[in-house]
Structure 1
Amino acid sequence: MRGAKKSIKSFFGFSKKELNGIFLLCLLTIMVLASPVFYRKLSKAPQYNFQKFKLEVESFKNSSQLIAEKNSKLNLVNVQYFEFDPNLISDNQWEKLGLSIKQIRVVRNYVNKGGRFFKKEDLKRIYSIPESQYLLLEPYIRIAESKSERKYPEKNKFTKSASSNLSSQITVIELNSADSVTLLKIRGIGPAFASRIIRFRNRLGGFYKLEQLREVYGIDSLKYSQIQNQLTLNSNLIQRINVNTVSFDQFKMQPYLSYKQINALIQYRSQHGNFKNIDDLKKIVLLNEEIIRKIEPYLTF
């Protein structure tokens, strides 16, 4: 019994060297845990001088303004004002009137894309020409009247007969059969727009209404209003797809459908059989009313 107590005491007891080691370990642990607290108290938060930065910014702004004013004065010294038509003027003549190379490039791009200045105030719409510069140019602007304007004065307020005569002079293009060369005959359509229209038409399978042109990149409401009277549409030329036999690869060209929607349509067809009519497509969760309305003209059952 005494031997058992001795062995238990020796098992749970510590020698002097072991006690010193435990004490040292505890001391190190406390120091490690307390070091972040002492570090935060001893270290100082960095101080930033924002005032110096603000002064540098103000100095930069002032120097930029001085340079701009200097360039403006230099341009004004070399300006030669004369009567001009902004629709016909050359780049060298724009430069003589005080426009920078960048401003001339913006005006030239506007004219090359079919833009036209019909009245003096139209020049103010060029974003690169500030109001102060326009006011200096305005007294010298002389816009020549077009043939239609000379024939029909009073700001183009045509009578019914005059309007029909002018319309007969406009080349009307059928949109679904025209190639890119034919589209160039439309006033306001250049090579870039013609290429985009053909590419979008091929993906669709044809246009079923003229308003779809507004989905072509770069054709906004202003451009559309400019060209719509020069176009006609034969919806019978639309290439339709049989929704019950079309494959994924054939369907993925359709711009109105995402890959997920096409996959859902084909999976539903595989599970439930052929679609009977357009109402069957409404049973597919990923196809909402708007999408179905857009793709309906391109589908057969």
Structure 2
Amino acid sequence: MKTHVKNYLSLTKRDWNGITVLLVLIAVALAAPFVYQWFTKDNTINPNEFNLAIAQLNKSNPAFTSKDSKTSANVAPFKFDPNTITASQWQQLGLTAGQANTIINYRSKGGKFYKDDDLKKIYGITPVDYKRLAPYISVNSETIKPKIMVELNSSDSSKLTSVEGIGPAFAMRIINYRERLGGFIAKEQLKEVFGVNELKYKEIAPQVRVNVRRIRKIAINTITFDKLRLMPYLNYKQVNALIEYRKQHGDYQSMDDLRNIAIIDEQILRKIEPYIIFE
């Protein structure tokens, strides 16, 4: 029994050599970091040399100076009308050249500032920028006074483009929407035209008016599916429901009949009611 256990636990010379090599490798691995630190010294940054390098970089390329340092050191605030000041004056107020150009481009396309906080809606103007400039903004109402008054339901594209803020693309969108709608019953419907946000609407609204007598009515009892489908306030299913209900129950007599169609809610009915006639 002892002989058997002894033979099982005994190691050959080859085994001892393998163990020795393994122990050496482990020792080398554990010692390597200490040896590396001993022969390698970290390069420390000299603060004076670093500051000197930064100063030389700023001197050779002023564009690298921070906006914050410009704002604190070179800005001399003054009262200004955002509708009239130049790009260089915007930069004197502490804005970057990119921010100033954004505002100039906005104005060149017909954009106007109607009240002080319109400035913070400009892309690139941060809340910090606006808070700093707000006490100095002074919008002159004379600079935004409308020059013309255009009737929306009868104007062609050339007439619409005479409105400040409406270019050829916007004019075509307004006309296309007007044709689908049957005409505008209120200028607020311009907000439903793609691309007319609140700021654009405020710019356009003082220059336009609406003649409701020029709207085109929908003869709900004779109109076809394809023509009714153009009405932007109705989706495909709602148009189909209106046509099918008429087929099954006969002509509509009043708006109360339309209220029997479950998928058309009161909000939609209020929108289409000015356009509906029962003939």
Same fold (TM over 0.5): yes
The number of equivalent residue pairs is 215
Distance 1:208 1:120 in 2: 30
Q: Partner of 2:66 in structure 1?
A: 72
- The residue type equivalent to 2:230 in the other structure is M
Maintained 8 Å contact 2:152/2:209: yes
1:107 alignment counterpart: 103
- Choose the corresponding residue for 1:211, options 181, 184, 188: 188
Deviations 1:27-82 (A, max 9, x none): xxxxxxxxxxxxxxxxxxxxxxxxxxxxxxxxxxxxxxx9xx955279959x8989
Equivalent in 286, 294, 299 of residue 263 of structure 2: 286
Q: Secondary structure at the match of 2:267?
A: helix
> What is aligned with 2:157?
180
The separation in 1 between residues aligned to 2:116 and 2:264, in whole angstroms, is 50
Q: 1:5-154 to 2 correspondence within 5 Å?
A: 70=64, 72=66, 76=70, 87-88=83-84, 100=96, 102-116=98-112, 126-130=122-126
Tell me the C-alpha RMSD between the 2 structures: 4.2
TM superposition shift of 1:230: 2.4
Given residue 233 of structure 2, which amino acid in structure 1 is its aligned partner?
A: Y
**Alpha carbons 2:242, 2:261 under 8 Å: kept:** yes
Q: Which runs of 5+ in 2 are unaligned?
A: 1-53, 55-62
Q: Matched residue of 2:164: which SS?
A: coil
- 1:114 positional shift: 2.9
In the alignment, which residue of structure 2 is the partner of 1:199? 176
Q: Distance in 1 between matches of 2:183 and 2:157?
A: 14
- Report % sequence identity: 46
- State the 1:229 CA deviation: 3.2
Structure 2 CA distance for aligned equivalents of residues 233 and 122 of structure 1: 26
Q: Distance in 1 between matches of 2:243 and 2:114?
A: 54
- Structure 1 residues 195 and 75: alpha-carbon distance in aligned structure 2, compared to 1, 3 A threshold: farther
Q: Which amino acid aligns with 1:173?
A: V
Deviates more, 1:185-194 or 1:97-106: 97-106
Superposed displacement of residue 264, structure 1: 0.9
Cα gap change, 1:99 to 1:287, in 2 (>3 Å) = same
Instruction: Please say if 1:239 is aligned against 2:216.
Output: yes
Partner of 2:237: 260
Question: Cα–Cα, structure 1 residues 260 and 121, in superposed 2: closer, same or farther, change >3 Å?
Answer: closer
Distance 1:285 1:119 in 2: 44
Quick one: distance in 2 between partners of 1:191 and 1:215?
18
Structure 1-normalised TM-score? 0.55
Name the CA shift for 1:212/1:144 in 2 (closer, same or farther; >3 Å).
closer
Q: CA deviation at 1:241?
A: 2.2
Paired with 1:131 and 1:296, the residues of 2 have a C-alpha distance of: 43
**How much does 1:257 deviate?**
0.4
Deviations 1:187-226 (A, max 9, x none): 3333333222112111101112222222223334444344
Deviation at 1:148, TM superposition (A): 7.1
Structure 1 spans left out of the alignment, 5+ residues: 1-65, 150-165
Counterpart among 226, 231, 251 of residue 228 in structure 2: 251
State the shift of 1:283 in Å.
1.3
One-letter amino acid of the structure 2 residue matched with residue 198 of structure 1:
I
Amino acid at match of 1:115: G
